[in-house]
Amino acid sequence: MEDNSLKVGDFNTAKKPLLAKRIDYVRKFHNDVFVDEYAWMSNAKSKELREYIDAQNEYTSKRVSSLEPLRKHLFSELKSRIQETDMSVPTRVDGYWYYVRTEEGKQYGVQCRMKIKSEDDWNPPVIDERAHAGQTPCEEVIFDANIEANRFNGGFFQLGGMDISLDGKRMLFGVDSKGDERFDFYIRDFCADKSGDFDCKNGENIEENGSESADYNTRYNNSFVTLSDCIKGISSALLTPDGKWVFYVTLDSAWRPYQVFRHKVGTSVENDVKVFEDLDERFFVSVYESFDERSVIINSSSKTTSRVLMLPLSTPEGDFRMVLKPIENVEYDVSFACFENAGQDGKDIPLMFVSHNLKNPNFQIDVIDLRKYSADSMPFNIGEGYCIAQGSPYGCKNGDLIEKGASKKAISAPYYNSQNPKILQGLRGLSVDGLSVYKNYVALSFRANGLPQLAVMTKSNAVEDFKTGCPWRFRLVKEDGFVGDSFDCAVSCDSLALNDSLEASDSCAKVASFRSTSARKELSKISLEQAKNSRISLIGATGNPCYEAPKIRYSCSSYATLGALKELDPATGESVLLKRGKILGDFNENDYAEKRVWVKVRDGESVPVSLVWKKDAVAKTNAMFITAYGAYEISSDPYFSVARLSMLDRGVLF
């Protein structure tokens, strides 16, 4: 084939980018034959490929060189809003409060912890967030990624997960130092012989007179040793609560997680045992603990179905067993829990919760009472147990399996179901996402009108409703300042220039008229109260790793409202602010307004469109930034963004 590419040496005078050369390479897959002209690029060590990439980078730099002053200005502007020295709200896990510090000028966070005062210590300690890591009394630095990155050649560095034993004495962590998403996992013992630190790279003890080693040990106060059992090039791993076992997932040549191995801490990795393998290339494998830390779960999932296996942690060397019989084109997720001391003679009630779309495309959650089954009953059938919550079947292809005529109804029609909790009755576009069971409460995540929602109830009420078969008494978690008591976020704001509902036939004309200066000026006249009442809420449970916690933490924000972390008492409904996001400078959220409009499209359904703008800047330009994504049931939620402020302040409608 003729070589029509530019030569690297001619690039300095070229007005076009360097064209990649084409070399015919025949590929054969499933009896199909095709020519791949760029297969030569698969050799990452190729000198020609390196020259081509360098030439493309040089061309790009020259083409955008006139924007360099603007780029630097925007970078400085964005950075000036961020408080670099900060810390997260401490989160209790077992016997410690864990939190992350960030320090000005450093690229990575510093993982710290502090011992709890007593078993009933559930109020986060007050800690100076401006202090340097390790300088606060009783504070222990357990992982400084800035120092760790330097130890791994100072190049690419990514932490691939961290797991700590129940007693806090042993830590498992993964590191990717190449950028290939293959992690090397290491185990650190906080209470072992501290005569030297095991070098993760070559297995030799570090000499204490090296400056790097001195800084390293000073930072950690010589508080641990790294064990020799390093597991290299894997996808993920977990450490059992007793700190004695590691279950990990390996990758095949295509970077697909497909095998699970069991490793006994303190033994050679060569002796590890393979406990699961999925050779079907459609499936990706993961391993994790059940939330009550009683079981290890293996999940092998494709785009359309899953295979879930479990193993009691009481028998870590036992065999994994299939939990549910997989059905093609049926998605499901499984979680195990129990109602402590709620059975006869004060025994626990073991439960399995299954979220699936066997009949309902918007999912339903079933609960199975495991007391009714023997150990040989697994695998169960999807659909066993009884339903405690389900989404709306309206407008769905298979909706008639749930309710006659449901497939012909509008998705936006209110949905009522006698099995559903009261707070779900009459909601539009309802889908249930999942259920989380803690020692003291139960949390339900769902969507209504396209927005994420959160509901919670006490564990004692859940036990009562489970025993009586009544709809579960969840209570809606709300945030003051968002849209009233209703889920209907398409509330009317008559003073807004843009209608809440746009018909498909005239939507283009309406949007075109909205671009006019006069229409945009109307947006700048929004009153403070109108701006607050039209907030588009984003709410969800976050930072709840401790099963025993008496309260649930949740975050809330909107396009124009800084994120806030709150803590709710499920028994009283009392909510306490733990921390609100910070922005340096003169930011005032009341200067911004937001609104959700519903556009009726060709098939008659309404599609939500979320808007945010700065009231006094919106009339100065016609610029509009449009973004959308809706595949794989991944929604574009109205989260707050510091970077977005630079657009809004310049009059861009987002």
Strand partners, 368: 352
Give start and end residues of each alpha helix (H) in 450-590. Answer: 459-468, 507-514, 517-523, 528-533
Strand partners, 101: 87, 110
Q: Give mean pLDDT, residues 316-324.
A: 95
Prediction pTM value: 0.84
Mean pLDDT of the chain, nearest integer: 84
- 512 pLDDT above the threshold of 50: no
DSSP string, 56-69: HHHHHHHHTGGGHH
Rg (C-alpha) for the chain, rounded Å, is 28
Q: Are 115 and 96 in contact (CB under 8 A)?
A: yes
Cβ-in-10-Å burial (0-12, 13-18, 19+) of 514 comes to: buried
Give CA separation, 284 vs 181, 233, 236, in Å.
15, 16, 12
Strands annotated E in 20-178:
26-29, 32-35, 86-87, 91-93, 96-102, 110-115, 140-144, 158-164, 170-176
DSSP string, 9-25: GGGGG-SSPPPPP----
How far is the C-alpha of 553 from the C-alpha of 568, rounded, in Å?
Answer: 6
- 507 pLDDT above the threshold of 60: no
- 600 pLDDT above the threshold of 60: yes
Q: Give mean pLDDT, residues 331-345.
A: 92
Q: Where are the domains of the chain?
A: 8-63, 323-476, 501-540+581-648
Q: How confident is the model at residue 531 (pLDDT cuts 50, 70, 90)?
A: low
Least confident of 304-313, 518-527, 547-556: 518-527
DSSP string, 590-648: GGEEEEEEEEE-TTS-EEEEEEEEETTTGGG---B------GGG--------TTTHHHH
Q: Give mean pLDDT, residues 211-225.
A: 62
How far is the C-alpha of 311 from the C-alpha of 288, rounded, in Å?
Answer: 11
- 452 pLDDT above the threshold of 50: yes
Q: How confident is the model at residue 222 (pLDDT cuts 50, 70, 90)?
A: low
Q: Give mean pLDDT, residues 393-402.
A: 91
Strands annotated E in 190-302:
225-226, 231-234, 236-239, 245-251, 257-264, 273-277, 284-289, 295-301
pLDDT at res. 534: 63
Among 210, 195, 100, which Cα is nearest to 150's?
Answer: 210
Q: Give mean pLDDT, residues 518-540.
A: 61
